[in-house]
Amino acid sequence: MSKEHWIVWEKCLNIIRDNVPSSSYKTWFEPIEPVKLEERVLTIQVPSAFFYEYLEEQFIDILRKTLRKVLGVGAKLEYNVVIGNNKKESPYTVKYPTVSSSKLENKPLSIPLRSDEKASIKNPFIIPGIQKLHIDPQLKPDNTFENFVEGDCNRLARSAGYAVAQNPGGTAFNPLMIYGNSGLGKTHLAQAIGIEAKEKFPDKVVLYVNANKFQTQFTEATRNNNRNDFLNFYQMIDILILDDVHEFAGKEKTQETFFHIFNQLHQSGKQLILTSDKPPIELKGMEQRLLSRFKWGLTADLIVPDFETRMKILRRKVYKDGLVLEDEVLEYIASHISNNVRELEGALVSLLAQSMLNKKEITLDLASKLINKLVKNSKRELSIEYISKVVCDYFNMPVESLQAKTRKREIVQARQIAMFFSKSLTKYSLASIGAQIGNKDHATVLHACKTVTNLKDTDKNFRQFVEDIEKKLKM
């Protein structure tokens, strides 16, 4: 097999490497792969549409000049864009010297009925005699288990959800109620169950619907005297995913109708998956008989992800977009935005957009400026994990070394500094700090803090260590 396209691209990279900053080269050129070379047309593969757009925006001139230098006048460049996990050609082609400004077209939103049904129906959920096979699940393809990052914050809910997907209606988790604050992944996990179940059991009817949408449909059905059709529609669903059920608060007629739907589905061995911002016991404005049914199965919560899980989420997002970012940038974002996964991913998207629109490299300084705007200069909550990571990075040692049972001076010193900052910069107790750093008791943490304080006053080099680390932690 000819490797000419690899040789040509390597020659191009040798030129580009000398003409762009090293960080830009690593982020935007190393992930590119040459695909083929035909009659002075070099085809390269890029990881995402966003990646293509950034190259087109920032590096058109260097690409054009380099290609002409290597292949001569008339050289052209074409792109293949990776879509999802599959390597497919994009629906557009870019050729130099004429540069296309075309963008990927947005895919049309799915509608509840297949395209062979009547498009004139205003409310497709309320149709007498609708065929089950024509019901669109209303699931977002990206909301899979594979894309749902697991951590201590969501392990129970995820495990229960996966069990439900493997045997819908056949586990003790019926209903499965997932609750937690906004932005922690309730909708993603609920839809992941539906996607997995639909793949495993194609003949089962799966439907995702938001509580507000359900309420709107019910109101319209009542107004049009179609309540029986509405009930019949929902009672034939095999796996019903109702999002934000707390929105039913104070809506007595809607609650009564859902109560009957719930009973029918549950008695028929169908699966119900509910999400809410609070557990059943804390929901206000809801009928007790409905709340009691919410408690029949399993109630699992999603809590704020820890630093390690937030880093996994950011790395997954960066990988999916086909980019390469320095860990210190991701660590900065993860340490400043800790309460909301949606905001965490949003901050990363904003950073990428700022970089592209303002033609700036993605650096720690750029991340710092953007995050300060997003969080409105609110004081962040440092975690013991993040402090340990910063300390270990400073001393160029793996963070796992803090847990080692050793008396090596450099490890003991790093452990003591991590304990010192954990006590001064967090609200954790001495016992909690000791448990997380080396599995030590509170007395050891107290001794470490006193040791660091004394060394700061007597050892110039040690004081410099502590000041440098403190600056990194307070950036």
How long is the chain?
475
Q: Is the pLDDT of residue 104 over 70?
A: no
Q: Is the pLDDT of residue 337 over 90?
A: no
- For strands 176-179 and 298-301, give the pairing: parallel
Task: Among 2.40.128.20, 3.60.20.30, 3.60.20.10, 3.30.300.180, name the CATH number for the domain at 4-87.
Answer: 3.30.300.180
Q: Which comes out higher in pLDDT, residue 161 or 25?
A: 161
Contact 157, 302 (CB under 8 A): yes
The per-residue pLDDT of the chain, averaged, comes to 79
CATH 1.10.1750.10 fits 384-473, yes or no: yes
Tell me: the pLDDT tens digits for 439-470?
888 889 899 999 998 888 888 888 888 888 88
Q: Per CATH, which fold does 135-301 belong to? A: Rossmann fold (3.40.50)
**pTM higher than 0.95:** no
Question: Would you list the DSSP string of 247-316?
Answer: GGTT-HHHHHHHHHHHHHHHHTT-EEEEEESS-GGG--S--HHHHHHHTSSEEEE-----HHHHHHHHHH
* Max mean pLDDT range (17-31, 91-105, 201-215, 353-367): 201-215
Rounded CA-CA distance 215/139 in Å is 19
Q: Give the SS3 label for residue 82.
A: strand
Phi, psi of 303 (to 5 degrees): -115, 175
Count the Cβ atoms, other than its own, within 10 Å of residue 305.
24
Q: Is the pLDDT of residue 166 over 90?
A: yes
Rounded CA-CA distance 166/187 in Å is 19
Q: Is the pLDDT of residue 216 over 50?
A: yes
Q: Is the pLDDT of residue 139 over 60?
A: yes
Report the percentage of the chain scoring pLDDT > 70: 84
Q: What is the mean pLDDT of residues 98-104?
A: 31
Burial (CB < 10 A; 0-12, 13-18, 19+), residue 326, is: middle
Q: What share of the chain is helix, strand, coil (3-state, %, to 5)?
A: 50, 10, 40
Q: Which comes out higher in pLDDT, residue 162 or 346?
A: 162
Tell me: the pLDDT tens digits for 49-84?
777 777 877 788 888 888 888 888 888 888 887 654
Long-range contacts of 372-378 (CB under 8 A, 24+ apart): 374/337, 374/343, 374/347, 374/350, 375/336, 375/337
Contact 237, 194 (CB under 8 A): no
Tell me, what DSSP letter sits at residue 224?
A: T
Residue 465 pLDDT: 87
Residue 225 in tokens = 């005297």
Phi, psi of 155 (to 5 degrees): -60, -45
**How do the domains of the chain map onto residue ranges?**
4-87, 135-301, 307-374, 384-473
Task: Among 1.10.10.10, 3.30.470.10, 3.10.580.10, 1.10.8.60, name the CATH number for the domain at 307-374.
Answer: 1.10.8.60
Q: What is the mean pLDDT of residues 175-200?
A: 90
Comparing C-alpha atoms, which of 184, 191, 285 is closest to residue 176? Answer: 191
Residue 126 pLDDT: 43
Rounded CA-CA distance 190/138 in Å is 12
Q: Is the pLDDT of residue 395 over 70?
A: yes
Residue 281 in tokens = 């016991």
Q: Is the pLDDT of residue 165 over 50?
A: yes
